[in-house]
Amino acid sequence: MSNLSPQEIEIRSMEIIDGLLPAHTWSSAELAVVKRLVHTSGDPSLAEVVRFHPQAAEAGMAALARGVAIFTDVHMVRIGMTTYKGEITCAISDADIAAAAKATGRTRAQTAMRAFGSALDGAIVAIGNAPTALREVLALAAEGIARPALVIGMPVGFVDAAESKDALMASDLVYITIAGTRGGSPLAATTVNALVKVLG
């Protein structure tokens, strides 16, 4: 096995993943996302907690085909999106965001999403770290300021990660998420990469 090429390793990995997935009714695009998430995480059980809005794959791919901007909560998500050629923005390290967050006591990720404001309307938002950022996106939608074309909501951890994702699924936004405490920047980025790859 050690002399396999990278392409052969990937093909073999996907074959193995196919055999580990539970019975499902995913569309072909949804299946591509699930397989990539399992591949990235090394955890076949993750497939059981991936959740799709009924329009998520179609809306996400249509937005990517239009070349919409993608906004992320942390730079790890931005850096991990290796297949998308459009604009990808993360403001968490901006000095004015840091200053505003310090002044208000809000997180920098949350402050950045609020600063993006109406720019998120029709865009893709990919959140792989901060539940506060996801909560802010939900607030912007509720206030009528911005409705992203797709929210990839995958914050990770034990403080409001699961709950914020439950709130996303209960909203009327189009989403792809992972129920529970699991998530993370690599998985959020992988979701975008998978949809881009399906588009070809």
Average pLDDT, the chain: 96
Q: How far apart are the first and last CA of the chain?
A: 29
Catalytic residue among 24, 39, 53, 75: 39
Angstrom distance (rounded) from CA 58 to CA 140: 23
Residue reference for tokens 């403001």: 91
pLDDT at 6: 86
pLDDT score for 106: 97
Q: Is residue 30 over pLDDT 60?
A: yes
Q: Which CATH superfamily is domain 48-199 in?
A: Cobalamin biosynthesis CobH/CbiC, precorrin-8X methylmutase (3.40.50.10230)
Query: Residue 138 and residue 85: Cα distance in Å, rounded?
Result: 27
Q: CA distances (Å), 52 to each of 81, 94, 181, in order? A: 20, 32, 17
Beta carbons of 37 and 46 less than 8 angstroms apart: yes
53 in catalytic set: no
The Cβ of residue 21 has, within 10 Å, a number of other Cβ atoms equal to 15
Q: Please write the tens of the pLDDT for every residue from 38-89.
A: 999 999 999 999 999 999 999 999 999 999 999 999 999 999 999 999 999 9
Helix ranges, 143-184 (H): 161-170
> Tokens for 21?
């997935």
Which among 175, 110, 117 has a CA at the least distance from the CA of 146?
A: 117
Spans of all domains in the chain: 48-199
Distances (CA, A) of 16 to 23, 44, 46, 186, 189: 15, 10, 15, 21, 22
Considering only CA atoms, which of 194, 191, 148 is closest in space to residue 171?
Answer: 148
